[in-house]
Amino acid sequence: MQASQVHGSAHAQALEHPSQRPDPLDLLARDRVLCIVRANQVADAAGLVSALAAGGIRLVEFTFTIPGVLDVIEEAAEVPGSVIGAGTVLTASHARDAVAAGARFLLTPDIRPDVATVAQACGVPLIMGALTPTELSRAFELGAAAVKVFPARIGGPAYLRDLLGPFPGARLIPTGGVNAANARGFLDAGAAAVGAGTDVVPPSLVERGDHEAIAEKAREFVRALEPEPEQ
Protein backbone atom coordinates (compact mmCIF):
# COMPACT_ATOMS: atom_id res chain seq x y z
CA MET A 1 0.00 0.00 0.00
CA GLN A 2 1.33 3.42 -0.92
CA ALA A 3 2.11 6.01 1.76
CA SER A 4 -0.62 8.28 0.46
CA GLN A 5 -3.12 5.45 0.82
CA VAL A 6 -2.00 4.77 4.39
CA HIS A 7 -2.28 8.49 5.13
CA GLY A 8 -5.77 8.66 3.68
CA SER A 9 -6.87 5.52 5.48
CA ALA A 10 -5.64 6.82 8.83
CA HIS A 11 -7.36 10.13 8.28
CA ALA A 12 -10.62 8.44 7.32
CA GLN A 13 -10.41 6.19 10.38
CA ALA A 14 -9.87 9.21 12.62
CA LEU A 15 -12.90 10.94 11.15
CA GLU A 16 -15.02 7.84 11.76
CA HIS A 17 -14.38 7.94 15.51
CA PRO A 18 -14.77 11.55 16.71
CA SER A 19 -15.89 10.37 20.14
CA GLN A 20 -12.37 9.10 20.77
CA ARG A 21 -10.92 12.61 20.45
CA PRO A 22 -11.28 15.34 23.09
CA ASP A 23 -14.00 17.93 22.60
CA PRO A 24 -12.36 21.27 21.63
CA LEU A 25 -14.23 23.32 24.22
CA ASP A 26 -13.64 20.77 26.99
CA LEU A 27 -9.94 20.75 26.16
CA LEU A 28 -9.88 24.54 26.13
CA ALA A 29 -11.44 24.62 29.60
CA ARG A 30 -8.96 22.08 30.96
CA ASP A 31 -5.71 23.30 29.40
CA ARG A 32 -6.63 27.01 29.17
CA VAL A 33 -4.31 27.53 26.21
CA LEU A 34 -4.62 27.50 22.45
CA CYS A 35 -1.53 27.60 20.23
CA ILE A 36 -1.69 29.64 17.02
CA VAL A 37 0.75 28.54 14.31
CA ARG A 38 1.55 31.06 11.58
CA ALA A 39 4.58 30.49 9.35
CA ASN A 40 5.68 30.49 5.71
CA GLN A 41 5.80 26.70 5.83
CA VAL A 42 5.30 23.87 8.31
CA ALA A 43 8.12 21.37 7.94
CA ASP A 44 6.39 18.50 9.77
CA ALA A 45 2.86 19.14 10.98
CA ALA A 46 2.48 15.89 12.91
CA GLY A 47 5.87 16.33 14.56
CA LEU A 48 5.03 19.91 15.50
CA VAL A 49 1.69 18.95 17.08
CA SER A 50 3.34 16.07 18.95
CA ALA A 51 6.02 18.43 20.29
CA LEU A 52 3.39 20.89 21.50
CA ALA A 53 1.46 18.07 23.18
CA ALA A 54 4.65 16.91 24.89
CA GLY A 55 4.94 20.43 26.28
CA GLY A 56 1.33 20.42 27.48
CA ILE A 57 -0.47 22.21 24.63
CA ARG A 58 -2.99 20.01 22.83
CA LEU A 59 -5.22 22.57 21.12
CA VAL A 60 -3.53 23.86 17.95
CA GLU A 61 -4.68 26.28 15.27
CA PHE A 62 -3.10 26.47 11.83
CA THR A 63 -3.91 29.70 10.00
CA PHE A 64 -5.00 30.03 6.41
CA THR A 65 -1.98 32.27 5.81
CA ILE A 66 0.17 29.09 5.76
CA PRO A 67 0.74 27.85 2.20
CA GLY A 68 -0.94 24.48 1.72
CA VAL A 69 -2.69 24.77 5.07
CA LEU A 70 -5.32 22.14 4.24
CA ASP A 71 -2.62 19.49 3.83
CA VAL A 72 -1.06 20.68 7.08
CA ILE A 73 -4.38 20.36 8.92
CA GLU A 74 -5.01 16.91 7.46
CA GLU A 75 -1.61 15.66 8.62
CA ALA A 76 -1.85 17.28 12.05
CA ALA A 77 -5.38 15.97 12.64
CA GLU A 78 -4.05 12.41 12.73
CA VAL A 79 -2.06 12.97 15.93
CA PRO A 80 -3.92 11.25 18.79
CA GLY A 81 -4.90 13.35 21.78
CA SER A 82 -4.50 16.73 20.10
CA VAL A 83 -7.31 18.79 18.56
CA ILE A 84 -6.63 20.79 15.42
CA GLY A 85 -8.40 23.91 14.22
CA ALA A 86 -8.18 26.34 11.33
CA GLY A 87 -7.54 30.03 11.87
CA THR A 88 -7.82 33.22 9.81
CA VAL A 89 -10.91 31.69 8.23
CA LEU A 90 -12.31 34.44 6.02
CA THR A 91 -14.87 32.73 3.79
CA ALA A 92 -17.52 30.03 3.89
CA SER A 93 -15.45 28.07 1.38
CA HIS A 94 -12.41 28.18 3.66
CA ALA A 95 -14.57 26.98 6.54
CA ARG A 96 -15.99 24.02 4.62
CA ASP A 97 -12.58 23.02 3.27
CA ALA A 98 -10.98 23.22 6.72
CA VAL A 99 -13.62 20.99 8.30
CA ALA A 100 -13.30 18.50 5.44
CA ALA A 101 -9.52 18.41 6.06
CA GLY A 102 -10.05 17.55 9.72
CA ALA A 103 -10.37 20.88 11.56
CA ARG A 104 -12.41 20.43 14.75
CA PHE A 105 -12.88 24.16 15.37
CA LEU A 106 -12.65 27.40 13.39
CA LEU A 107 -11.32 30.87 14.20
CA THR A 108 -11.91 34.15 12.43
CA PRO A 109 -9.94 37.39 12.88
CA ASP A 110 -13.15 39.43 12.86
CA ILE A 111 -16.91 39.16 12.48
CA ARG A 112 -17.74 36.71 9.66
CA PRO A 113 -21.45 35.77 9.43
CA ASP A 114 -20.87 33.39 6.49
CA VAL A 115 -18.28 31.44 8.46
CA ALA A 116 -20.64 31.27 11.43
CA THR A 117 -23.32 29.73 9.21
CA VAL A 118 -20.93 27.01 8.01
CA ALA A 119 -19.64 26.31 11.51
CA GLN A 120 -23.18 25.79 12.77
CA ALA A 121 -24.06 23.56 9.80
CA CYS A 122 -20.94 21.44 10.32
CA GLY A 123 -21.36 21.27 14.09
CA VAL A 124 -17.93 22.68 14.93
CA PRO A 125 -17.24 25.43 17.49
CA LEU A 126 -16.42 28.87 16.14
CA ILE A 127 -14.10 31.26 17.94
CA MET A 128 -14.74 34.67 16.42
CA GLY A 129 -12.31 37.57 16.62
CA ALA A 130 -13.47 40.82 18.23
CA LEU A 131 -12.15 43.72 20.27
CA THR A 132 -14.95 46.11 21.21
CA PRO A 133 -18.14 45.46 23.23
CA THR A 134 -20.23 45.92 20.08
CA GLU A 135 -18.15 43.31 18.24
CA LEU A 136 -18.34 40.90 21.17
CA SER A 137 -22.12 41.22 21.25
CA ARG A 138 -22.38 40.57 17.51
CA ALA A 139 -20.07 37.54 17.70
CA PHE A 140 -22.16 35.88 20.38
CA GLU A 141 -25.38 36.73 18.51
CA LEU A 142 -23.95 34.81 15.53
CA GLY A 143 -23.36 31.76 17.70
CA ALA A 144 -19.67 32.05 18.52
CA ALA A 145 -18.68 29.55 21.20
CA ALA A 146 -15.96 31.94 22.34
CA VAL A 147 -14.46 35.26 21.35
CA LYS A 148 -10.82 35.78 20.54
CA VAL A 149 -10.01 39.22 21.95
CA PHE A 150 -7.45 40.48 19.46
CA PRO A 151 -5.04 42.18 19.70
CA ALA A 152 -4.85 41.60 23.46
CA ARG A 153 -1.79 43.82 23.81
CA ILE A 154 -4.20 46.77 23.50
CA GLY A 155 -5.45 47.27 27.03
CA GLY A 156 -3.96 44.10 28.49
CA PRO A 157 -5.61 42.19 31.37
CA ALA A 158 -7.34 45.32 32.69
CA TYR A 159 -9.25 45.76 29.43
CA LEU A 160 -10.31 42.12 29.48
CA ARG A 161 -11.61 42.52 33.03
CA ASP A 162 -13.61 45.57 31.91
CA LEU A 163 -15.16 43.63 29.02
CA LEU A 164 -16.36 40.96 31.42
CA GLY A 165 -18.35 43.58 33.33
CA PRO A 166 -21.17 43.78 30.74
CA PHE A 167 -20.47 40.23 29.52
CA PRO A 168 -20.20 38.19 32.73
CA GLY A 169 -19.26 34.59 32.12
CA ALA A 170 -18.32 35.20 28.50
CA ARG A 171 -15.68 32.80 27.16
CA LEU A 172 -12.92 35.21 26.13
CA ILE A 173 -9.52 34.19 24.74
CA PRO A 174 -6.97 37.03 24.61
CA THR A 175 -4.61 36.62 21.67
CA GLY A 176 -1.89 38.79 20.18
CA GLY A 177 0.82 39.98 22.54
CA VAL A 178 0.26 37.17 25.04
CA ASN A 179 3.46 35.56 26.33
CA ALA A 180 4.77 33.58 29.28
CA ALA A 181 5.33 36.77 31.25
CA ASN A 182 1.74 38.06 31.07
CA ALA A 183 -0.43 35.01 30.33
CA ARG A 184 -1.27 34.33 33.98
CA GLY A 185 -2.42 37.93 34.35
CA PHE A 186 -5.02 37.43 31.62
CA LEU A 187 -6.31 34.27 33.30
CA ASP A 188 -6.52 36.09 36.63
CA ALA A 189 -8.52 38.83 34.89
CA GLY A 190 -11.12 36.26 33.86
CA ALA A 191 -9.95 34.87 30.51
CA ALA A 192 -11.27 31.40 29.73
CA ALA A 193 -7.95 30.62 28.06
CA VAL A 194 -5.09 32.40 26.32
CA GLY A 195 -3.73 32.22 22.79
CA ALA A 196 -0.04 31.38 22.54
CA GLY A 197 1.62 32.52 19.33
CA THR A 198 5.20 33.34 18.46
CA ASP A 199 6.25 33.08 22.11
CA VAL A 200 5.82 29.30 21.70
CA VAL A 201 5.98 28.73 17.94
CA PRO A 202 8.36 31.27 16.36
CA PRO A 203 8.08 30.90 12.58
CA SER A 204 11.81 30.22 12.28
CA LEU A 205 11.55 27.16 14.56
CA VAL A 206 8.41 25.91 12.83
CA GLU A 207 9.92 26.27 9.37
CA ARG A 208 13.07 24.33 10.20
CA GLY A 209 11.25 21.73 12.31
CA ASP A 210 13.07 22.36 15.58
CA HIS A 211 10.52 20.44 17.63
CA GLU A 212 12.73 19.99 20.67
CA ALA A 213 12.98 23.76 21.11
CA ILE A 214 9.25 24.18 20.52
CA ALA A 215 8.40 21.52 23.12
CA GLU A 216 10.54 23.35 25.68
CA LYS A 217 8.88 26.69 24.86
CA ALA A 218 5.49 25.01 25.30
CA ARG A 219 6.54 23.67 28.71
CA GLU A 220 7.70 27.12 29.80
CA PHE A 221 4.42 28.68 28.69
CA VAL A 222 2.30 26.04 30.41
CA ARG A 223 4.30 26.43 33.64
CA ALA A 224 3.63 30.17 33.49
CA LEU A 225 -0.12 29.51 33.53
CA GLU A 226 0.04 27.98 36.99
CA PRO A 227 -1.24 30.24 39.81
CA GLU A 228 1.23 31.70 42.27
CA PRO A 229 1.59 29.43 45.33
CA GLU A 230 -0.15 30.74 48.42
CA GLN A 231 2.14 32.07 51.13
Examine residue 151 and say whether the peptide bond preceding it is cis (omega within 30 degrees of 0): yes
- Among residues 61, 74, 75, 78, the one annotated as catalytic is 61
Distance of alpha carbon 164 from alpha carbon 168, whole angstroms: 5
66 within 8 A of 38, measured Cβ to Cβ: yes
The neighbouring-strand residues paired with 130 are 149
- 217 classed as catalytic: no
Distance of alpha carbon 227 from alpha carbon 137, whole angstroms: 30
- Among residues 74, 75, 78, 148, the one annotated as catalytic is 148
Distance of alpha carbon 125 from alpha carbon 115, whole angstroms: 11
Distance of alpha carbon 65 from alpha carbon 194, whole angstroms: 21
Catalytically annotated residues: 61, 148
